[in-house]
Amino acid sequence: MTGIAAGLVLFALLMGLLVLRVPIGIAMFAIGAGGYVWLTGGELAPLLNSLKNLAYARLSNYDLIVIPLFLLMGQFATHGGLSRALFRFVNAFMGHWRGGVAMASVGACAGFGAICGSSLATAATMGQVALPELKRAGYAGSLATGTLAAGGTLGIMIPPSVPLVIYAILTQESIGKLFMAAVLPGVIAMVGYMLVIRIVVACKPSMGPAGPRAPWSERLRALGAVLPVLAVFLVVIVGIYGGWANPTEAAAIGAAACGVLAVVNGGMRWEGLIATALGTAQASAMIFLVLIGADQLNTALAVSQMPAELAAWVKGSGLPPLLVMTAILVTYILLGCVMDSLAMILLTIPVFYPVVMGLEFWDLTPTDKSIWFGILALMVVEIGLVHPPVGMNVYVINRLAKTVPLVETFKGVMPFLLSDFVRIVALVFFPALSLVLVRTFHT
């Protein structure tokens, strides 16, 4: 049997287990372990021997330790009331525009995304703060929920970003460069969402009435409250990129700073600390279980030689690279209908990455290409969080909003999805959007 055929058999079996609601990490592990035994000649001993070190090797990986640290940082930010300060700040500047409170929500989501690497946490936290404000300001339900579901995706688009860390580890790419490359596309996403709101309220002014103008004294006070958040972001990103601290150290600094802010500014007490500890535990375990499973699956795939054979076949087939890229992106959008973004990255990057690296795109160097593809993959898997039928962010926000029907929320998200597609197409044709900052701040 060829490697591609063996790989396809493994994928088909995996899909079968996933359909039966087996947790993704466990399903990947089961297929990976079974496939490994099958492909190495039916002996159990090599598998049992390799498992001796699997968990320790994975969980003691120095680069991977940034994940629980970033999650801890995000949990401190979530339970420490930093979201409220961010919203007040942006709203003091934009609230008096038509649609301004919704734009402020997007801005605050972006700010929160700069200290939190998870979309669901961003959507949930900002939703709790901004939804009551949007309602009080008389915003239409669908605009309010759509804004926050889409805005929540800024949590992973703006670094630090857990999916990018995973991509970096899988492809041995620099975390610092990927974070830097994600900044500009993240800002473009934020501006795009704000433009969408502007257009929506221009068509239907009653959906987002203007609020009162905030006096400068209040604006300055609000600014004071968010300066520490900005400082944390700069220390983490500049620290990593400037080579001043490695990602793990920068994440430790960020977690410590957010912890201090949460206790001192946010009045976090015992209950908040326990919630932070349990939240970190749950989110880390969720990711690590999928990581361990993916590790085993990738071992089996590597034995089958499927990724290498597929890459060679695509390269030799003479298919236009852009067509291949389009097929990959469409695959992500389809997978996004049923799967979570991290699982998607872990499942597909080992197969797609060699394919992409084997093709020519806009004369990019291999490093540039791998960074560009990382940002592109991040952008497409992220829209799986807002489009039907799974759209986790949509469900989270909808549960918070209570009075808005789910259909309204999905309708409200549509214009934002359109801006996502425009941005992705732009990034495909202009890789510089992701690479320009990496080149400018080259050290």
Partner 1 sequence: MNAVAELPIAETGEPRAAHAGIDGLGRWGRRLEAACKGSAIAGSLVFVALVAMSIVSISGRKLASTPVPGDVEMLQLCAAFASASFFGWCHLNQGDVKVDFFTEWLGERQVHALDSLGSLLVAAFGALIAWRTAAGAASLHAAGETTMILGAPVWLGQALMVPGFALLALAGLYRAAWHLRHALRSAP
Environment class of residue 389 by beta-carbon count within 10 Å: exposed (0-12), middle (13-18) or buried (19+)? exposed
The least distance separating partner 1 from the CB of residue 64, rounded to whole angstroms, comes to: 8
HEC string for 264-323:
HCCCCCHHHHHHHHHHHHHHHHHHHHHHHHHHHHHHHHHHHCHHHHHHHHHHHHCCCHHH
The residue range among 35-43, 59-67, 308-316, 403-411 that interacts with partner 1, by the rule CB under 8 A, is: 59-67
Hey, which residues between 85 and 124 contact partner 1 (CB under 8 A)? 87-88, 91-92, 95, 124
Hey, which residues between 345 and 404 contact partner 1 (CB under 8 A)? 389-390
Among 248, 299, 393, 434, binds partner 1 (CB under 8 A): 248
Under the criterion CB under 8 A, does residue 278 sit at the interface with partner 1?
yes
d(CA 278, CA 234): 27
Helix (H) or strand (E) holding 434: helix 432-440
d(CA 257, CA 266): 12
Environment class of residue 264 by beta-carbon count within 10 Å: exposed (0-12), middle (13-18) or buried (19+)? exposed
Under the criterion CB under 8 A, does residue 343 sit at the interface with partner 1?
yes
Q: Which is nearer to partner 1, 2 or 53 (CB)?
A: 53
Under the criterion CB under 8 A, does residue 241 sit at the interface with partner 1?
no
Nearest to 103 by CA among 158, 132, 143, 153: 143
Instruction: Lay out the site mask for partner 1 across 131-150 (x = CB under 8 A, - = otherwise).
Output: xxx--xx-------------
Under the criterion CB under 8 A, does residue 37 sit at the interface with partner 1?
no
Under the criterion CB under 8 A, does residue 331 sit at the interface with partner 1?
no
Among 8, 9, 13, 26, binds partner 1 (CB under 8 A): 26
Q: What are the strands, taking DSSP E only, across 204-252?
A: none
# of chain residues touching partner 1 (CB under 8 A): 84
The least distance separating partner 1 from the CB of residue 189, rounded to whole angstroms, comes to: 23
Among 161, 174, 280, 299, binds partner 1 (CB under 8 A): 280
| Residue 63, token pair as written in the block | 């680069």
The residue range among 73-81, 223-231, 359-367, 427-435 that interacts with partner 1, by the rule CB under 8 A, is: 73-81
Under the criterion CB under 8 A, does residue 78 sit at the interface with partner 1?
yes
Nearest to 415 by CA among 113, 150, 214: 150
d(CA 429, CA 406): 35
Q: How far does CA 70 lie from the centroid of its chain? A: 13
The least distance separating partner 1 from the CB of residue 437, rounded to whole angstroms, comes to: 25
Spatial contact of 24 and 340, defined as CB atoms under 8 Å apart = yes
The least distance separating partner 1 from the CB of residue 285, rounded to whole angstroms, comes to: 3
The least distance separating partner 1 from the CB of residue 170, rounded to whole angstroms, comes to: 17
d(CA 75, CA 141): 28
Under the criterion CB under 8 A, does residue 10 sit at the interface with partner 1?
no
d(CA 103, CA 16): 43
The least distance separating partner 1 from the CB of residue 91, rounded to whole angstroms, comes to: 5
Among 252, 294, 345, 386, binds partner 1 (CB under 8 A): 252
Under the criterion CB under 8 A, does residue 419 sit at the interface with partner 1?
no
Backbone angles phi and psi of 300, in degrees to 5: -65, -40
Among 5, 44, 51, 227, binds partner 1 (CB under 8 A): 51
Under the criterion CB under 8 A, does residue 277 sit at the interface with partner 1?
yes
